[in-house]
């Protein structure tokens, strides 16, 4: 059996690990647009700040040898031919497969004129992080367009290495898709304390300049200039190579519960696959590492004929470089909100129809695992919802664990 995998990120490598764990002797070939060994993108921030590569490569010096995989780094796939069971590389080479896994991930983007100009750095790849590292010195400045999760994470990392970032956000509070105004206030305060200038209600209109970017024209009519520009209002799946096929896509590739496309021998997993959210029941791109891991295991098991369905994901976000810990899970709107707050701590649990549909824990993340488990199991919390945030709340309160019946 010949298995081709597009992408060497967490999803692609996860597929390989699962295949080999189940003793598959399939011939596996991995393609990657980047000419580097597999790495873990969530560790890019730590790498930028400390220069430490351990988190990136997770002690696997030679992934391909360990897992007996043929590697084609730096070979971008430009076309998938589903009926023919073939791929075309950027060098016009044709490659045959029996099974294909599309694990091509996503790229940072901003739907703003000029966002493809030279001088806009891509902090979603190791090469992008290395480029920033090379030019970063004290007193450099940066403009980060996009005050969502990824923009905030990038601005914090830049501030930690002495760069002075300005973060632009279209709405009146940062991370508006994840946080309410009050929670965003705590995060904004910390961003400013760490040296990030936050511009709210400010939209990026156009990256100006000829070939290279010279500045960012904003909705206030000002042009911001900096040494480093980052366009990060969101991420978009890397799916150009299927656009001429009848593989269905929307925001990302549409898959069934086994992660198969309309072709049963072509799978999609990780940031490129659109799967059904546990809470909303709608298909979406979650863009999360644990989701990529579950997808990878699911796709690999199904290739081997071991029937498995993916676990419906929930949004779980945590910013790694703030001065305090924060975890944001699920919806931040509900019929009832239970909360506890002090100057440095904010804990909110969102409940609809007596079920936890989301929570935010800031400054004190204790019991996060318990709340997540209750949310995922859709446990009825009516009998103990008023105690969820009490100091002594423990698993002992839960049904079947010696507590509420
Ligand atoms: C800075 C940063 C911090 C993050 N922090 C967190 C976090 O704290 N928690 C969390 O859960 N998630 C986090 N994430 C998200 C997480 O990294 C992603 O969900 C995960 O990397 C998805 O894995 P993937 O394999 O699907 O895609 P990717 O990691 O994007 O890998 C895609 C692979 O496909 C290759 N590729 C793309 N196009 C082609 C093509 N045409 N031909 C061949 N190869 C191609 C790429 O070169 C790459 O090898 C973070 C991401 C970033 C960038």
Query: pLDDT category, 404, cuts 50, 70, 90?
Result: very low
Identify whether 313 is part of a domain. no
Q: Are residues 216 and 129 in the same domain?
A: yes
Are the C-beta atoms of residues 284 and 291 closer than 8 Å to each other?
A: no
- Best residue among 238, 247, 291 to mutate for probing ligand 1's pocket (most ligand atoms within 8 Å of CB) is 238
Q: Are residues 211 and 132 in the same domain?
A: yes
Q: Beta 266-268 vs 204-208: how paired, if at all?
A: unpaired
Helix (H) or strand (E) holding 326: strand 326-330
CATH number of the structural domain spanning residue 120: 3.50.50.60
Q: Are residues 243 and 205 in the same domain?
A: no
Q: What is the ipTM of this complex?
A: 0.99
Query: pLDDT category, 402, cuts 50, 70, 90?
Result: very low
**Span of 14-23, 135-144, 185-194, 348-357 with lowest mean pLDDT:** 135-144
CATH number of the structural domain spanning residue 374: 3.30.390.30
Identify whether 315 is part of a domain. no
Q: Which residues line ligand 1 (CB under 6 A)?
A: 6-12, 31-34, 41-42, 44-45, 76-77, 103-106, 123-124, 153, 238, 241, 270-272, 287-290, 292, 320
- Rounded to the nearest angstrom, the gap between the alpha carbon of residue 267 and the centroid of all alpha carbons in its chain is 19
Whole-angstrom distance, CA of residue 147 vs CA of residue 167: 6
Q: Are residues 100 and 121 in the same domain?
A: no
Whole-angstrom distance, CA of residue 87 vs CA of residue 82: 8
Number of structural domains in the chain: 3
Identify whether 250 is part of a domain. yes
For ligand 1, the distance from its centroid to the CA atom of residue 272, given in whole angstroms, is 9
Q: Are residues 101 and 248 in the same domain?
A: yes
Q: Please determine, for residue 211, whether its predicted confidence score (pLDDT) is greater than 70.
A: yes
Burial class (CB in 10 A: 0-12, 13-18, 19+), 65: exposed
Stretch 385-394: mean pLDDT, rounded?
88
For ligand 1, the distance from its centroid to the CA atom of residue 229, given in whole angstroms, is 21
User: What domain range includes position 219?
Assistant: 108-235
Q: Are residues 278 and 136 in the same domain?
A: no
Tokens, residue 176: 């508006």
- Sequence-ordered list of residues with C-beta below 8 angstroms from that of 48, at least 6 positions apart, any chain: 123, 129, 132, 133, 136, 157, 158, 160, 161
Determine the atom of ligand 1 nearest the C-alpha atom of 318: 8
For ligand 1, the distance from its centroid to the CA atom of residue 126, given in whole angstroms, is 10
Tokens, residue 12: 């692609």
- Sequence-ordered list of residues with C-beta below 8 angstroms from that of 256, at least 6 positions apart, any chain: none
**Span of 133-137, 263-267, 361-365, 369-373 with lowest mean pLDDT:** 133-137
Q: Which residue has the tokens 């391909």?
A: 64
Of 394, 401, 85, 93, the C-alpha closest to 265 is: 85
pLDDT digits (tens, 9 = 90+) for 47-94: 999 999 888 987 677 899 999 999 999 999 999 999 999 999 999 999
Q: Are residues 14 and 126 in the same domain?
A: no
List the alpha helices (DSSP H) in 207-333: 289-303
Q: Are residues 175 and 223 in the same domain?
A: yes
Identify whether 310 is part of a domain. no
Whole-angstrom distance, CA of residue 110 vs CA of residue 172: 18
Are the C-beta atoms of residues 237 and 106 closer than 8 Å to each other?
A: yes
**Span of 99-103, 257-261, 331-335 with lowest mean pLDDT:** 331-335
Identify whether 127 is part of a domain. yes
**Span of 21-30, 103-112, 319-328, 396-405 with lowest mean pLDDT:** 396-405
Q: Are residues 280 and 177 in the same domain?
A: no
Q: Are residues 137 and 225 in the same domain?
A: yes
pLDDT digits (tens, 9 = 90+) for 153-163: 999 999 999 99
Whole-angstrom distance, CA of residue 261 vs CA of residue 402: 45
pLDDT of residue 405: 39
Domain edge (last residue) among 235, 261, 286 = 235
Identify whether 294 is part of a domain. yes
Q: Please determine, for residue 31, whether its predicted confidence score (pLDDT) is greater than 60.
A: yes
Identify whether 312 is part of a domain. no
**Average of per-residue pLDDT values in the chain:** 93
For ligand 1, the distance from its centroid to the CA atom of residue 106, given in whole angstroms, is 6
Tokens, residue 203: 């939209």
pLDDT digits (tens, 9 = 90+) for 349-358: 999 999 999 9
Q: Are residues 95 and 10 in the same domain?
A: yes
Are the C-beta atoms of residues 249 and 281 closer than 8 Å to each other?
A: no
Stretch 362-372: mean pLDDT, rounded?
95
Domain edge (last residue) among 185, 206, 235 = 235
Q: Whose CA is nearest to atom 4 of ligand 1?
A: 42
By three-state DSSP, how is residue 179 classified? coil
For ligand 1, the distance from its centroid to the CA atom of residue 290, given in whole angstroms, is 12
Q: Whose CA is nearest to atom 38 of ligand 1?
A: 104
Determine the atom of ligand 1 nearest the C-alpha atom of 32: 44
Q: Are residues 87 and 229 in the same domain?
A: no
Identify whether 309 is part of a domain. no
Whole-angstrom distance, CA of residue 20 vs CA of residue 250: 32
């Amino acid at each position: 059996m010949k298995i081709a995998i597009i992408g060497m990120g967490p999803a692609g490598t996860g597929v390989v690990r699962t295949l080999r764990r189940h003793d598959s002797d399939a011939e596996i070939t991995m393609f990657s647009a980047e000419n580097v060994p597999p790495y873990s993108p969530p560790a890019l921030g730590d790498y930028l700040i400390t220069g430490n590569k351990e988190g990136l490569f997770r002690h696997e010096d030679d992934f391909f040898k360990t897992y007996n995989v043929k590697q084609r780094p730096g070979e971008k796939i430009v076309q998938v031919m589903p009926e023919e069971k073939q791929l075309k590389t950027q060098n016009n080479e044709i490659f045959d497969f029996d099974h294909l896994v599309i694990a091509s991930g996503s790229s940072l983007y901003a739907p703003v004129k000029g966002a493809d100009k030279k001088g806009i750095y891509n902090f979603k790849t190791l090469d992008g992080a290395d480029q920033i590292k090379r030019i970063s010195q004290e007193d450099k400045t940066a403009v980060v367009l996009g005050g969502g999760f990824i923009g905030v994470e990038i601005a914090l990392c830049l501030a930690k290495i002495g760069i002075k970032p300005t973060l632009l956000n279209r709405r009146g509070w940062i991370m508006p898709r994840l946080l309410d105004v009050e929670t965003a206030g705590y995060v904004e305060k910390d961003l400013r304390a760490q040296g990030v200038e936050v511009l709210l209600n400010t939209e990026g209109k156009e990256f100006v300049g000829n070939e290279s970017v010279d500045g960012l024209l904003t909705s206030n009519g000002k042009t911001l200039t900096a040494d480093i520009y980052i366009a990060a209002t969101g991420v978009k799946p890397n799916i150009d190579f299927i656009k001429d096929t009848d593989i269905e896509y929307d925001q990302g590739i549409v898959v069934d519960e086994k992660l198969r496309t309309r072709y049963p021998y072509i799978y999609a997993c990780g940031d490129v696959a659109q799967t059904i959210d546990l809470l909303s029941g709608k298909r979406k791109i979650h863009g999360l590492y644990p989701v990529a891991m579950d997808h990878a295991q699911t796709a690999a098991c199904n290739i081997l004929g071991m029937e498995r369905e993916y676990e419906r994901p929930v949004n779980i976000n945590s910013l790694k470089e703030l001065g305090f810990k924060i975890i944001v899970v699920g919806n931040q709107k509900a019929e009832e909100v239970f909360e506890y707050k002090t100057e440095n701590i904010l804990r909110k649990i969102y409940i609809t129809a007596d079920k936890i549909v989301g929570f935010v824990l800031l400054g004190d993340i204790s019991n996060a695992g318990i709340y997540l488990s209750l949310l995922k199991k859709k446990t009825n919390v009516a009998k103990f919802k008023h105690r969820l945030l009490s100091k002594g709340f423990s698993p002992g309160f839960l049904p079947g664990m010696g507590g509420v019946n």
